[in-house]
Amino acid sequence: MEGAKAVINLAGAPVTLKWTEENKRLIKDSRVHSTAAIGEGIRSCKLPPEVWINASGISIYGDTGDTEVSETSPIGAGFLAEVSLAWERAQADAMAPSTRKVRFRKGIVLGKGGGAFDELSKYTGWFLGGAQGSGRHWMSWIHIRDVAEAYIWAIESDVEGPVNLVSPEPIRNADFMAKLRAAMHRPWSPPAPEFAIKLVGMIRNIQADVVLESVRVKPDVLLKFGFPYNFPTLDEALADLVPPA
């Protein structure tokens, strides 16, 4: 890291691991310990990096229901909120006075080749693209190209502190799935009840019910700084991600 323009830390075990006590420790420690190690490395540099961008998550706000939150909103409750808070504190506590610190609170990233979009489009392709649970929970998403360009933008700008890395258009789950079905030319599908989602989680040994968390997030900092979104709306994102029929 000596003399680096920027350091970007995305390390962390998947939060969809089944929440056993052992996996909870892994989810938390993989984030906190790696961040603390980077802080120690920067502290020992004679010429420290100009900027340090550390990942975080919008789960820091907890389940917000219909309430809209921004970077100035209070920290929420729950396991993932606790993890995100410890993650951010590890960066904040690092002795790096010459290095600008940015904390990207990332939402649901939509991109090909893995992650949430591949899972949702797979089930939708199988004519199982209904809402999850009630479908009323909010999804705060962002296209993967905007994620990549946001990191470059943060290096080149003077932004610091927490930044919500989401699009300006959060959407309810039922509406998200309706738009995805339309883009993939699939008919209406019945919603997947909460018990079925938990059952799938048990079968696949994952914490599947994280998809039911409602977090309605505004990207106030990105909007204030005029970040140039490539895909500010879900329609634009799906037009890029879903191959033409």
Per-residue pLDDT tens for 132-149? Answer: 999 999 999 999 999 999
The gap between the terminal CA atoms of the chain, to the nearest Å, is 47
Q: What is the DSSP letter of 14?
A: -
Q: Residue 235: helix, strand or coil by DSSP?
A: helix
pLDDT band at 191 (very low <50, low <70, confident <90, very high): very high
Closest CA to 110 of 17, 214, 180: 180
pLDDT at site 208? 84
Q: Which CATH number fits domain 6-241: 3.40.50.720, 3.40.50.11540, 3.40.190.10, 3.40.30.10?
A: 3.40.50.720
Buried b (16+ CB within 10 A) or exposed e, 98-113: ebbbbbbbbbbbbbee
Vertex 45: Cα angle to 41 and 50 (nearest 5): 95
Helix axes 21-43, 79-92, angle to 10 degrees: 10
Burial-class residue 92 by CB neighbours within 10 Å (0-12, 13-18, 19+). Answer: middle
The mean per-residue pLDDT over the stretch 90-100 comes to 96
Tell me what percent of the residues of the chain surpass a pLDDT of 90.
88
Vertex 112: Cα angle to 198 and 55 (nearest 5): 75
132's tokens:
């999850």
125's tokens:
């392709």
In DSSP terms, 142 is beta-bridged to: 109
pLDDT tens per residue, range 172-188: 999 999 999 999 999 99
pLDDT at site 120? 93
Closest CA to 167 of 95, 215, 108: 108
Q: Residue 8: helix, strand or coil by DSSP?
A: strand
E strands within 58-116?
68-69, 100-106, 108-110
pLDDT tens per residue, range 17-63: 999 999 999 999 999 999 999 999 999 999 999 999 999 999 999 99
Q: Domain coordinates of the chain in residue numbers?
A: 6-241
47's tokens:
């010429």
Q: Say yes or no to pLDDT of 201 above 90.
A: no
Give whole-number Cα distances, 61 to 51, 77, 88, 195, 212, in Å: 25, 7, 13, 25, 15
